[in-house]
Amino acid sequence: MFEYLTYMRRLIVSVLLVILLSSVAATILAAETTPVFYARVDYLLRTEENVELDFGSKSIIKLSSYAAPPGFTLESFTVVFEGKTPAQVIPIEYDKISKNMDVLTSVTSFSGEITLGSNGYNGTVKAKLVTVFKRSSWVPLQDNLTIDTSEFKDTGLQVVVKVTIDNYAPYAVKSVTDPKGNELTSLSMQDKLPAGAFKVDPKHVEFDATTIGFGKYKIAFNVGDDYKLPNSFLVIEDRYMEVTIPAKTSKNYMLKSKAGWNTLGFIIVLYSVTPGPLSSDARVTGALVDKAFERSEEFEIRGASLLIPPLLMNYWIKAFLVYGNSAVISNNEGHDIQAIVIPIYYRQIGTWTPKGLVATINKKDVADAYSAYLVVQVPTIATIQSITLPGGQKIEGVESFTSNWLGTWRSAVIEKTEASIQVKNGDSIEEGDYFVEISWKPVKMIFTDPKGNPVPGVQVSVEGPQTAQVVSGVDGVASINVYTPGVYSIRANFKGSTIAALTLGTLIDTDFNIECKVYRLTVNVKNALGNPIAGASVTITNGNYTQTLESDSSGSVVFNQMPVGVYTVTAQYKRITSSMKVTLDGDKNVDINTGILFDIPFVGPVTAMEVAAVSAAAAVTSALFFRPRKEEEVAEIEIG
């Protein structure tokens, strides 16, 4: 009987082969395949207080800012000195200072605490305490943007709104409308406002809502790849022209093409000195114009006697920033006016590294320019720390300064997300490598399952201005050390499936939380009678990923955090193999029946099918043995 069962077992196994089918798992994406760009809107509340700092009675003076209003944080606390600050006044506790020709002009703190000391100075210093509070929001960019300042109407504070767009975003400011419908980018409207109340360039808008009015402002944008700008560039101010604009005439200026350079615009300064009543009826028009400066004054010319009677004189000066390839100067005065026209060009420069930007300046690059600047502008997740010059001098802890340099002067500005350093002024130039130190906050991809549990082992690939490969840790976090501005495509793969794919346009200073469609699959291995089978090898596969576990004493196997898809589940116990397909779109608990009826020692498992086959074979044998014999098959036996 034993030999017969062994024979039958081999026969059945050889005939009843199980064909395993597999399929590729369905891919569910946290998909943002088109980059989304945002405008950062900063609401700035500003307070000013005039003080006299008495160093006669105290050698050390400590100053503190006001507390931030609800919803706002302290942006800066600054002491702005009036007049020439005594050299003996020394900043002790601060974050940044500003100097003009090596004379201290202001001291800034980001914590709200400033300490000043006197190194022998005995007297008072007039100053202004300026506190700025900030609240920021991010708004997805479309062809226009509305900003409502109505909530600040009765605060009594100066309210300034600043809008910033990434340089590499395909958007540029087209126009700005105030709450009354006035077009702020028109010169007729800017002439009615104090210079500085409204500022604009292709990537920034800044307006003083307290001066212009509270309500809804609308910003319209041009959209297209032509409006992208680099984040690090060399800006040159070409040789300027001094021209006369005759009365009641206009002059048109076009930027000439310059090999290897892109056109940016003009700086145009208009001025006039005339006797008689003050008038300044002149303007500049172009694609985008910002009246950046304005001043006028009346003065009297008088000698020792009235031999020449006193003459009342007036002068005015206006400065404009024009963005675009052309500008028109219109003189509506009854007399000639003077103009200085400075063409502006730029070109991309520098290499981004994990520690900052390296830019090499050569004399030949700026030989024809009157002045040149290295400019760096970075996203919000980065902070500019310092600038190291080719000679090794490191400029840090400085917000802005102007200093004596090579027989002339040089200026530098280092703010949190943008900086400039003058590399040429007239015939003075410092060539070589400039290093702008920049610290970047890592972009964090936080992967969790639908229950909020971290998903470790997610493989994240990053493509863009730089490439990277990272894996999420036990906390489900994959940190990406971005150090180059630009658009990034990110794809996350887990257990053979793509669980997230997104394209980052604007790098916002927040973490990216991604809920992965991964679920738990419990497989219960059972025999023909529904009883559990322990020690069975259970394998699941989606064609790209395979995992095998062994069933426990209850016959169960748990596969955790499996991506959505179709899986082939195979259970093998000794020589018996069973399989089934499972569509996983949530937590599932499935049974797989091996068909095993009993497990014979030294023989192994026997299935119900085998028992049925054996029973059938036995029935055939019995039928053959006990069936009625035919007449001719019966032998006759004689007994003698």
* pLDDT score of 57: 73
* CB neighbour list of residue 562: distance below 8 Å, 6 or more residues apart: 495, 518, 519, 520, 521, 540, 584
DSSP reduced 3-state for 248: coil
Residue type for 222, please?
A: N
* pLDDT score of 120: 86
* CB neighbour list of residue 278: distance below 8 Å, 6 or more residues apart: 296, 298, 314, 316
Q: Could you tell me what percent of the chain has a pLDDT over 90?
A: 75
The helix or strand, by DSSP H or E, that contains position 570, with its residue range, turns out to be strand 565-573
DSSP per residue over 490-525, as a string? Answer: EEEEETTEEEEEEEESS--SS-EEEE--EEEEEEEE
For range 257-284, the mean pLDDT: 88
Q: How far is CA 417 from CA 231, 242, 438, in A?
A: 11, 35, 9
What percent helix, strand, coil does the chain show, rounded to 5? Answer: 10, 55, 35
- Residue 512 reports pLDDT greater than 60: yes
* pLDDT score of 3: 40
Partners of 136 in beta bridges: 42
Integer Cα distance of 516 and 564 in angstroms: 9
Average per-residue pLDDT in the chain? Answer: 88
Structure tokens at 327: 């500008």
3-state secondary structure 321-390: EEEEEEEEEEECCCCCEEEEEEEEEEEECCEEECCEEEEEECHHHCCCEEEEEEEEECCCCEEEEEEECC
Q: Environment class of residue 591 by beta-carbon count within 10 Å: exposed (0-12), middle (13-18) or buried (19+)?
A: middle
For range 425-449, the mean pLDDT: 95
DSSP reduced 3-state for 10: helix
* pLDDT score of 635: 40
Q: How many CB atoms lie within 10 A of CB 253?
A: 20
**Is-contact 125 86, C-beta < 8 A?**
yes
**619 phi and psi angles, rounded to 5 deg:** -65, -40
Angle between helices 2-15 and 608-626 (to 10 degrees): 120
- pLDDT tens for 167-187 read 999 999 999 999 999 999 998
Q: Could you tell me what percent of the chain has a pLDDT over 70?
A: 88
* pLDDT score of 25: 28
* CB neighbour list of residue 583: distance below 8 Å, 6 or more residues apart: 565, 566, 567
- pLDDT tens for 202-248 read 999 999 999 999 999 999 999 999 999 999 999 999 988 999 999 99
**Among 96-105, 270-279, 428-437, whose mean pLDDT is lowest?**
270-279
- pLDDT tens for 293-337 read 999 898 899 999 999 999 998 899 999 999 999 999 999 888 899
- Residue 600 reports pLDDT greater than 70: yes
- Residue 437 reports pLDDT greater than 80: yes
- Residue 273 reports pLDDT greater than 50: yes
DSSP per residue over 151-216, as a string? Answer: GGTTS-SEEEEEEEE-TTSSEEEEEEE-TTS-BTTSHHHHTTS-TTSEEEETTEEEEEHHHH-SSE
- pLDDT tens for 280-305 read 788 899 999 999 999 989 889 999 99
Integer Cα distance of 105 and 82 in angstroms: 8
Residue type for 407, please?
A: G
- pLDDT tens for 20-49 read 222 222 333 455 568 889 999 999 999 999
User: Cα dihedral angle (169, 170, 174, 179), rounded to 10 degrees?
Assistant: -50
Given pLDDT bands bounded at 50, 70 and 90, which one contains residue 639?
A: very low
* pLDDT score of 432: 97
Nearest to 495, CA basis, from 452, 538, 460, 547: 547
* pLDDT score of 135: 97
DSSP per residue over 251-297, as a string? Answer: EEEEPPP-TT-EEEEEEEEEEEEEESS----EEEEEEEEEEEEEEEE
- pLDDT tens for 43-90 read 999 999 999 999 987 789 999 999 999 999 999 999 999 988 999 999
- pLDDT tens for 526-571 read 998 899 999 999 999 999 999 999 999 999 999 999 999 999 999 9
Integer Cα distance of 555 and 589 in angstroms: 12
For range 95-110, the mean pLDDT: 95
- pLDDT tens for 239-264 read 889 999 999 999 999 999 999 999 99
Q: Environment class of residue 109 by beta-carbon count within 10 Å: exposed (0-12), middle (13-18) or buried (19+)?
A: buried
**468 phi and psi angles, rounded to 5 deg:** -160, 155
* pLDDT score of 615: 53
